[in-house]
Structures are given as structure tokens and as C-alpha cells.
Amino acid sequence: MANQVSRVLLVEDDPDQARRVTMMLVEAACGRFTVSDVGSLAAALAKLRDGGIHVVLLDLGLPDCQGIQTFTQVVRQAPRLPVILLVEPGDEPLAAAAVRGGAQDSLLKDELTGPLLARAVRYAIEREQLKARAERTMALLWAEQMRLSTIIARNAAGIVIVGADGIIRLANPAAEKLFGRQQDELTGLPFELPAPAGDPAERTIVRPDGQTVTVAMRVAQIHWDGEPSWLISLHDVTARRRAEEDLRRLNEQLEQRVAERTAELQWVNQELEAFGYSVSHDLRVPLRAMDGYARMLQYEYGAQLPPEAQRYLRQVREGARQMGRLIDDLLALSRLGRQAPKKQPVDPAALVREVLAARPAGREVTVVVGDLPPCQADAGLLRQVFANLLDNAIKFTRRRAQARIEVDCEWQAGVPVYFVRDNGAGFDMRNAGRLFGVFQRLHTADEYEGTGVGLATVQRIIHRHGGRIWAEAAPDQGATFYFTLGREAADA
């Protein structure tokens, strides 16, 4: 407004008065106003039809129209323009009626001053501009509300508009379905907002027919009909909550079943442990007696027995010792199922050296121990793994003039893979699936001794560590046994 030049239309039939008002306004406004003056209503209406006028200064007593009718004609021609009345003393009631009819202001001609006139014109223009801006804003708000109303009506979620007083103002069709009521029934009902308002919440709605519906609510603050309000979206989660409740009951039943099965397994383990003690004590007694009597018979009467009978006695004693070793292996295997690994930082290379140092002196075997990275494992169980695999490798390289065993490690996908490789008898990979079964042997007892439990023990130890074991071999070309101890084992 400060830099804009406003055009003022002065409607005054007295030329002297017109010049006086024009001079006062121009001098006081410092170039912010330009004034066009006319002396009749007809001329004024013609000017207004041409446009470009910002404010009208109107004398109600014109040659071609008198009184309030003059103002009415001007407003009819230019309803958006602000009109300031210039009245004679005694015409105040007439001016008051015109102001009530929409005139911006009224000024007595006898009291006019330049500043008063300029201020009245400026305020009239500013008020009209503010009014126009407010009308545009209201129109935009109304259009936005209409658009929002359309979105709300078409939304699949239930939506209610709640005023600041907690009373429902609007409900969409989806909300009607949730509540089981029509919009005219819902409008005017109180609606309790979650505390604090705006946080997600759930509520149970009881319909008129007694059915209950669980809804999830989200609350957002908006303006509706010009006042602060709440938009509440409602989503039917009844089926989801019922499914969750069913799942909770199933989990409770599953936990109960797991507890029952655990108790059964504990009982079975106790029975197995009792069986182990029975095997350890009851079966060893007759074995010791068998071996003892055979040894006494061999010592006391061996010289009197024919060679065939002596061979029978040796086989009896060897069978007893083999049975004892088998019982020891089975007991060790059964204990693995009840024994949780006690993991700690372990140096596998040191374990291999301990196993080799504990072996009795025998034939010459070259054992190469590579760079074995440390790991997290049960030291005693991992020692047993290396002992069994090395025993296996030494046994099956018996017929090699230069037996060679390699213990090393390679990395696969960031995981250390330990291996024991030999140049012994090997085996057909078609039989690899039988390697780790209890009592499963790929060679006869006459070829290579053993109980058929050693590799099964190794596999169980590896599985208890979360790893896996496998083998690669070819007949008469040696075998390699690979194993891992789980990904976390590398974090030693």
C-alpha cells in the first residue's frame, strides 16, 4: 500500500467543495492518491463502469439523485468498492443509515482536514483489501474442506470429526458401519479422545445390537468449519486381535507341550543314564570274568593245549577286549548327548600336538600341522575330535610305505574349515552317507580294526558346537575330513 498510487473518485456537485477536497487529499497524501471528480450520479456510474477506481468519496445530495438512493446506486454499480460519505450538518441520520447499509465511513464536510481525509481513504482501502483477502482465504478453506469431505466420505477407514468440545461433527460411511449407526445418529454424540490426544490407541465399540468391534485409532488436529477440531481415523482390528488371541493360546498350549516333552526327555535321559551305569558295571563284570578265566586257562594249561585251542583262547580274550572298547565308546557317545560344550578360546594346533605326544611309539608316520586359527570351543571335546580323526588317518595309512597326514585349515565365506587329510586307503564316495553312523564301517574288521563309533562321536561333537563335518575321498587315494565349528567359533 505504501508504494501504490490509489485512484479516488470524488462525486461532488459543488465545484468549490470539489476543489477543496481534492487539494486537501493530494497535499496530505503526498502523491499516494490521484483524484477524479464528477458532479453527477450518472457521470459517477460511467466512471465506475470504466473501472480502475479504488475508493469513492460520495456526496448524497446530487442534481440527479438525492439521499440514500445515491449510495444504493453506487453500491449496485460497484459492490466491492469502499464508499466514504461526505455529508452536510444535519444529515448524520442519513449517513448512519448508509453506514449500516455497507458504507465504510462518513465525514462531515465542515470538519474535513487533509490528514483526516487521507487517513479515512487509506483505512477504507485497507479494510476492503483485508476483507477481500479474508474472503479469498475463506473460499480456499471452504474448497479444502469440501475436498477433505470428499476424501473422508470415500475413505475405506472409518473417520469421525470431533470438535474441541468432544462432540462428533461428522462421520463417514465406513464409521457408520463400524458404529452400527447412521451419521445423523452419530452427529452430536460425545467421543472420548485418547490421552494424550494424538497417540495411537485402541477402543472397543459396542454396537446397538450388542456386537463389539475393536478399532485402532489415530488422531490428527485439523480446522473444521473454522474451529480447531480432531480428525480420528478408525481401523477395524477385531479379526487381527482375535487371531493374536488364538495365537497366544496356541503358544501357551505349545509351551505346555514343550514342557511335557521336556519332562519326558529328562525322564528318558535319566533312564539312559541308568542304562549307561548298568552297561558300565553289569556288563563289564562278565567281560572281565571271561577275559580273566581265559587268561588263567592260557597261563595254567596253555602248554598242554593244541595250537588250535590256543588260538581260540586268544580270540576269546581279544573279543572281550573289543567288547570292552565298544562299551567305552558307546558310553562316551551317550554322554555327549547330555553334555553341553563349555566353550572358551582354544588353540587347535596345541591340541593336535597334545594328541600326537600322547600316542604310543609305533610305526613312522609324517604328520604336518599347518597354521590352525584359534577358535571358541570346548577344549576337551575338540581334543577328542582331533584324536579320533588322527587315529582314523593313522589306521588307514598302515599299508603305506610313507604314510603322510596333514592337519590344516582353509577359509570359506569367512569361516575357518579345519581338515585332516591322509594318503591312506580312502573309500568310495557312494558310501559317504554311511560314514558317521554308529557301527557303520566301510572296511571289514579283518582289514582294519575299530568299533564303528569313532566318527559318529566326532559328528556329534561337531554338531554340539553348531558346525558340520563332511569327507572327500577316492579308493586307494586317501581321504580328507573337513569340519567347521559354527560362524561364532571364529570370534576367538
Same-domain status, 32 and 55: yes
Residue 292 counted as domain residue: yes
Rounded Cα–Cα distance for residues 382 and 367 (Å): 18
Residues 217 and 233 sit within 8 Å (Cβ to Cβ): yes
Q: Which residue has the higher pLDDT, 214 or 428?
A: 214
User: What is residue 204's predicted lDDT score, i.e. its pLDDT?
Assistant: 87
pLDDT-derived band at 418 (thresholds 50, 70, 90) equals very high
User: What is residue 326's predicted lDDT score, i.e. its pLDDT?
Assistant: 62
What percentage of the chain carries pLDDT values higher than 90?
A: 11
Collect all residues with Cβ–Cβ distance below 8 Å to 152 and sequence separation of at least 6: 159, 161, 170, 172, 231
Residue 50 counted as domain residue: yes
Residues 439 and 445 sit within 8 Å (Cβ to Cβ): no
Same-domain status, 331 and 375: no
Query: Does the pLDDT at position 318 exceed 80?
Result: no
Same-domain status, 130 and 16: yes
Q: Which residue has the higher pLDDT, 224 or 347?
A: 347
Collect all residues with Cβ–Cβ distance below 8 Å to 455 and sequence separation of at least 6: 388, 392, 435, 436
Three-state DSSP state, 276? helix
**Residue 374, domain extent:** 341-490
Residue 36 counted as domain residue: yes
Residue 147 counted as domain residue: no
User: pLDDT (tens digit, 9 = 90+) per residue, 422-461?
Assistant: 998 888 778 777 677 655 555 555 555 555 667 888 888 8
Lowest-confidence region among 112-126, 324-338, 437-451: 437-451
Same-domain status, 347 and 436: yes
Lowest-confidence region among 120-124, 176-180, 438-442: 438-442
Question: Pick from 236, 269, 284: which residue ends a domain?
Answer: 236
Same-domain status, 453 and 364: yes
Residue 145 counted as domain residue: no
Sign of CA dihedral 387, 327, 424, 399: positive
Same-domain status, 377 and 309: no
* Residue 178: other Cβ atoms inside 10 A: 21
User: What is residue 333's predicted lDDT score, i.e. its pLDDT?
Assistant: 57
User: pLDDT (tens digit, 9 = 90+) per residue, 53-88?
Assistant: 889 998 888 999 988 898 899 989 988 889 998 888
CATH code, domain with 170: 3.30.450.20
Query: Does the pLDDT at position 490 exceed 60?
Result: no
Provide the grid cell at 425. 586307503
Query: Does the pLDDT at position 6 exceed 50?
Result: yes
User: What is residue 264's predicted lDDT score, i.e. its pLDDT?
Assistant: 82
Three-state DSSP state, 7? strand
User: What is residue 308's predicted lDDT score, i.e. its pLDDT?
Assistant: 85
Sign of CA dihedral 379, 385, 389, 391: positive
Query: Does the pLDDT at position 409 exceed 90?
Result: yes
Same-domain status, 196 and 327: no
Rounded Cα–Cα distance for residues 398 and 362 (Å): 11
Question: Pick from 335, 360, 395: which residue ends a domain?
Answer: 335
Average pLDDT over residues 138-151: 74
CATH code, domain with 387: 3.30.565.10
Average pLDDT over residues 142-154: 73
DSSP state of 280: I
Query: Does the pLDDT at position 328 exceed 50?
Result: yes
Same-domain status, 466 and 481: yes
User: What is residue 1's predicted lDDT score, i.e. its pLDDT?
Assistant: 45
Average pLDDT over residues 31-43: 87
Q: Which residue has the higher pLDDT, 90 or 420?
A: 420
Q: Give me the number of domains the chain comprises.
A: 4
Residue 305 counted as domain residue: yes
User: What is residue 420's predicted lDDT score, i.e. its pLDDT?
Assistant: 93
Query: Does the pLDDT at position 239 exceed 60?
Result: yes
Question: Pick from 278, 306, 335: which residue ends a domain?
Answer: 335
CATH code, domain with 103: 3.40.50.2300
Same-domain status, 316 and 267: yes
Same-domain status, 214 and 246: no
pLDDT-derived band at 153 (thresholds 50, 70, 90) equals confident
Query: Does the pLDDT at position 482 exceed 90?
Result: yes
Task: Give the strand order in the sheet containing 403-412.
Answer: 365-369, 403-412, 415-422, 479-483, 469-473
User: What is residue 282's predicted lDDT score, i.e. its pLDDT?
Assistant: 65
Query: Does the pLDDT at position 103 exceed 80?
Result: yes
Query: Does the pLDDT at position 212 exceed 50?
Result: yes
Query: Does the pLDDT at position 272 exceed 70?
Result: no
Query: Does the pLDDT at position 181 exceed 80?
Result: yes
Residue 149 counted as domain residue: no
Residue 150 counted as domain residue: no
Query: Does the pLDDT at position 483 exceed 90?
Result: yes
Any alpha helices (H) in 40-181, and if so which ranges? 41-50, 68-77, 92-100, 114-154, 173-179
Average pLDDT, the chain: 82
pLDDT-derived band at 29 (thresholds 50, 70, 90) equals confident
Same-domain status, 293 and 356: no
* pTM score over 0.95: no
User: What is residue 441's predicted lDDT score, i.e. its pLDDT?
Assistant: 54
User: What is residue 276's predicted lDDT score, i.e. its pLDDT?
Assistant: 62
Same-domain status, 120 and 182: no
Rounded Cα–Cα distance for residues 127 and 68 (Å): 22
* Residue 140: other Cβ atoms inside 10 A: 10
What percentage of the chain carries pLDDT values higher than 70?
A: 86
